[in-house]
Amino acid sequence: MLANLVSNLSELFQLRISESESAECYRVKKNDLWLPVSWSVFAGEVRAVSAGLIESGFEHGQTVAILGKTSPSWCEIDMGGIFIGGCTVGIYDTLLVDQVEFLLQDSGASFLFVEGRASYERVLPLLDTVDSLKQIVVWDYEAEAREGVMALADLKALGRKLLERKSLIVESRASKVSADDVALVVYTSGTTGRPKGVPLSHKNVLSQLKSNDMLIDDISGEDITISFLPMAHVAEHVPGFFGRLNTGMRTAFATNYDTLLDELLEVRPTYFGAVPRIFEKMYGRILERVAHSSPRRQAIFGWVRDLARRRARAAMGGPALSFKDRMMLPLADRLVYRKIRDVFGGRVKAFVTGAAPIDLEILEFFYGVGMKIIEVYGLSEATAISFANTLERQQLGTVGWAIPGLEYKLADDGEILLRGPTVFSGYLNLAQENDKLFDDEGYLYTGDIGELTEGGCLRITDRKKNLIKTAGGKYVIPARVESVAKSEPLISQVYVHGDNRPYVVALITLDDRETGRVAEELKTTAEALPTHPVVVARVAKAVEVANSKLARFERIKHHVILPKDFSLEAGTLTPTLKIKRRIVADHYSSEIDRLYSEASASYQATSAAPQ
């Protein structure tokens, strides 16, 4: 762990290269083979990018924007800009061009690095509309030569020529980097309005890495993870990429999301960061397969599932396992548990996840199987992680304890407030709004509601603005209701509604990655699935199971299956795939009104008419 030995990310990068020069930094898959790349080779590419930027007129404090999928090139560009005192802005490759334009204007980006032909052609007109933008640099596509456009390979070639003349020019620039310099700007997803730029300094990032060292102290260059989440997200950027600079851990860059499960078996990671939906889908798929098996297999699974949950509860301080349970664990492991662990390669020490709550039943099951899902809580404004469970100290159903060095308190309404070295100083270009961000003692209002357990763990309730107050005066937590309703693998999104209404209703969408397979099994089309009796019954069953876990006032009384999934293109999802609740409520207001006006149960599982 190197973060404690340096004062900025430029020094961290240099120290990592010095410590691990010949060791593996990452691996990529080419022609079905995983090819390792050393830290020294990575450093050579970073220095070439840095020098190329200098030769192209890039100055200390200027901004580099990066639009592309997570890849070695993304990381080279990112470190190349930061190393010489620049600031980087990650842009999701799913954003519309007007959204990209806003981010470039707001951040004042002078260089835009773009991956691939499709993205390049979309953003090319921005050279004429974004005042600060001087250069578009393209990788993985040979663009036609024109003013203001160059290839990444050509930028690196410029840099290498400069390094031949001035071999230490990038190190000279790096020596001027300050801990208070902004290293990156992360844009919030904009669930309720325009995205907001979150400037994070070198000091913010290093404070996060130092705290992480105290949470998990046995990560080394022998460990490996797999990178597939977007680098534009603070979690992949800071604990992910910068975390690897700190610890020396290797990574394998996934080819794409569709090949992830196969590549997990090949890479066999020891640490794995994932979104909660992966575990929800996996659990749902297991239950689906069991439901189609023989009564004997169903009985066996029921036994091993209950044993796994008893094992998890015992580990959390609940009743100890009986002698019989302890004796039967090796058999359960051989029959079921080992096969489930093998899906992720069989040697993962910890699965780190956050962003949304996971049903306790799912957490207990996987913990008992031998898969430790470490829930954390954080936000961009506090440099990713603020509360965390650890391998040695964990409480299922909570996000654990505050990271070292972070102060916190709960307001009277339960809102979480944070203060410490990982907390940012305010949004970019929003001076008036920044005045309302902090209380009189300098604590950041997070907008999240939580509660503390007797053991001092934090349990996240939901976003403050998302809480639903029914006409009966009861408060409903949408995240909780939506989470427990997602055990059915066919379900993609659940949006619950009920503010100032007599009861809770839900809009449900189907997962495009599942509909093709299910349509083939049912000998129908994907478009016909929302009204197909089998699908209607499966979704209704999922709602019934969810309701059995909820208080009466939380239960979904009526629901409707929508003909299309929520999406970025329709404006109903953010780049991080969170539901834009206000937009969904407005867009589907007629469906919501029908759910309340037509009280008959026959409408409960019908499909909405396409819009």
276-462 CATH fold? Rossmann fold (3.40.50)
pLDDT band at 323 (very low <50, low <70, confident <90, very high): very high
Q: What is the pLDDT of residue 61?
A: 96
If one counts every other C-beta atom within 10 angstroms of the C-beta of residue 268, the result is 16
Secondary structure, 3-state, 359-374: CHHHHHHHHHHCCCEE
Q: Which of 170, 161, 142, 140 is nearest to 74 (CA)?
A: 140
Rounded CA separation 448/273 (Å): 22
DSSP H helical ranges for 108-151: 117-123, 126-129
Summarised one tens digit per residue, pLDDT across range 461-475 is 878 888 887 887 877
If one counts every other C-beta atom within 10 angstroms of the C-beta of residue 485, the result is 27
The secondary structure of 172-194 as a DSSP string is HHHTT--TTSEEEEEE---SSSS
The sheet with strand 182-187 has its strands ordered as 149-151, 135-139, 111-115, 63-67, 87-91, 182-187, 197-201
Q: Is a pLDDT exceeding 90 seen at residue 445?
A: yes
User: Phi and psi for 33 in degrees, rounded to 5?
Assistant: -120, 140
Q: What is the pLDDT of residue 407?
A: 97
Helix (H, G, I), strand (E, B) or coil at 610: coil
Q: What is the pLDDT of residue 356?
A: 75
Q: Where does residue 14 rank: exposed (0-12), middle (13-18), buried (19+ CB within 10 A)?
A: middle
pLDDT band at 601 (very low <50, low <70, confident <90, very high): very low
Scored b (16 or more CB within 10 A) or e, 118-147 reads ebbebbbebbeebebbbbbbbbbeebeeee
**Average pLDDT rounded to a whole number, residues 380-397:** 93
The single-letter code of the amino acid at 524 is T
In this structure, are residues 245 and 237 in contact, taking their beta carbons and an 8 Å threshold? no
In this structure, are residues 427 and 196 in contact, taking their beta carbons and an 8 Å threshold? yes
Q: What is the pLDDT of residue 603?
A: 41
Q: Does 496 or 357 have the greater pLDDT score? A: 496
Q: Is a pLDDT exceeding 80 seen at residue 504?
A: yes
Length of the chain: 611
- Predicted TM-score (pTM) of the model is 0.86
**Average pLDDT rounded to a whole number, residues 73-96:** 96
**407-410/401-402 β-pairing:** unpaired
If one counts every other C-beta atom within 10 angstroms of the C-beta of residue 320, the result is 12
In this structure, are residues 514 and 489 in contact, taking their beta carbons and an 8 Å threshold? yes
Q: What is the pLDDT of residue 568?
A: 79
Q: Name which of 55-69, 209-223, 412-426, 515-529 the model is least confident about.
A: 209-223
CATH class of 3-177: alpha beta
Summarised one tens digit per residue, pLDDT across range 254-284 is 998 878 888 999 999 999 888 787 888 788 8
Residue in the structure block whose two tokens are 């102290």: 217
Token code pair at residue 119: 């993205």
Q: What is the pLDDT of residue 188?
A: 87
Q: Where does residue 595 rank: exposed (0-12), middle (13-18), buried (19+ CB within 10 A)?
A: buried
Helix (H, G, I), strand (E, B) or coil at 543: helix
The single-letter code of the amino acid at 483 is S
The sheet with strand 444-452 has its strands ordered as 407-410, 415-419, 444-452, 458-463
Q: Where does residue 477 rank: exposed (0-12), middle (13-18), buried (19+ CB within 10 A)?
A: buried
Phi-psi region of 566 (alpha: psi -120 to 50; beta: other; left: phi over 0): beta
The CATH superfamily holding the domain 467-603 is ANL, C-terminal domain (3.30.300.30)
Listed by start position, the domains of the chain span 3-177, 276-462, 467-603
pLDDT band at 606 (very low <50, low <70, confident <90, very high): very low
Q: Is a pLDDT exceeding 80 seen at residue 355?
A: no
The secondary structure of 582-607 as a DSSP string is HHHHHHTHHHHHHHHH---GGGTTPB
Q: What is the pLDDT of residue 190?
A: 60
Summarised one tens digit per residue, pLDDT across range 518-554 is 898 899 998 999 999 999 999 999 999 989 988 888 8
Token code pair at residue 345: 């390669």
Rounded CA separation 558/575 (Å): 29
Q: Which of 127, 126, 156 is nearest to 139 (CA)?
A: 156
**Average pLDDT rounded to a whole number, residues 349-376:** 89
pLDDT band at 610 (very low <50, low <70, confident <90, very high): very low
Domains 3-177 and 276-462 in one fold: yes
Q: What is the pLDDT of residue 193?
A: 63
Summarised one tens digit per residue, pLDDT across range 191-216 is 556 789 999 999 999 999 999 877 77
Q: What is the pLDDT of residue 391?
A: 87
Token code pair at residue 202: 């070198």
